[in-house]
């Protein structure tokens, strides 16, 4: 990140707060689903994948059993694909289990308009018929354009449309944190 944009960064969560939040969400997932029976997590590329991996790790520590984990690329399901100027980068969807009849917890980093989640729902439905789809997000920043609401929210942050909520991950060589960036 260049220094000019860094000077307009307002920290919302540091790495410790992110870790505590993910631990809380893990417990909420287990409580709502009464354990891990019939449960799987699917992260939306890219930030949702890192968060889903961390949630699965915490859930496995608590339950002492494996939890299926998948990664979903929604690029081809986006509703703005035809109006984008740049060529989309298509990444791999890896869901090494059948999703039919499972309770799927879809994981993403930031919930904004709801359009990413709609695309993810379309992508999941093309793979099977889950018993239920739940949504876990680290940050809900409002401004919904579709009637979508998360079941598990790390932090609700009212923002303006001009602000950009950015989640930084140590998996990408950054310090774990969530910030609002303004130009």
* Tens digits of residue pLDDT in 61-120: 999 999 999 999 999 887 665 565 676 677 789 999 999 999 999 999 999 999 999 999
The mean per-residue pLDDT over the stretch 149-154 comes to 98
Other residues' Cβ atoms within 10 Å of the Cβ of residue 129: 11
Q: What is the residue-averaged pLDDT of the chain? A: 92
The mean per-residue pLDDT over the stretch 27-54 comes to 98
Torsion of CA 56, 72, 163, 84, to 10 degrees: 170
> Percent of the chain, pLDDT > 70?
91
pLDDT for position 83: 61
34 neighbors 2 (Cβ within 8 angstroms)? no
Concatenating the DSSP letter of every residue in 118-150 gives HHHHHHHHTT---SEEEEEEEEE----SSS---
């Amino acid at each position: 990140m260049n220094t000019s944009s860094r000077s307009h960064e307002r920290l919302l969560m540091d790495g410790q707060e992110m870790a505590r939040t993910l631990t809380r969400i893990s417990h909420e997932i287990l409580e709502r689903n009464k354990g891990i029976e019939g449960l799987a997590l699917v992260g939306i590329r890219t930030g949702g994948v890192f968060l889903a991996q961390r949630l699965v790790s915490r859930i496995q520590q608590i339950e002492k059993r494996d939890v299926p984990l998948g990664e979903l690329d929604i690029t081809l399901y986006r509703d703005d694909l035809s109006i984008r100027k740049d060529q989309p980068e298509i990444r791999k969807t890896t869901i090494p289990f059948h999703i039919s009849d499972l309770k799927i917890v879809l994981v993403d980093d930031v919930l904004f308009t709801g359009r990413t989640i709609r695309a993810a729902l379309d992508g999941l439905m093309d793979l099977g018929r889950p018993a239920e789809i739940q949504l876990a997000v680290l940050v809900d920043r409002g401004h919904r354009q579709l009637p979508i609401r998360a079941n598990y929210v790390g932090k609700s942050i009212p923002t303006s449309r001009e602000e950009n909520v950015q989640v930084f991950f140590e998996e990408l060589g950054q310090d774990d944190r969530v910030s609002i960036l303004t130009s």
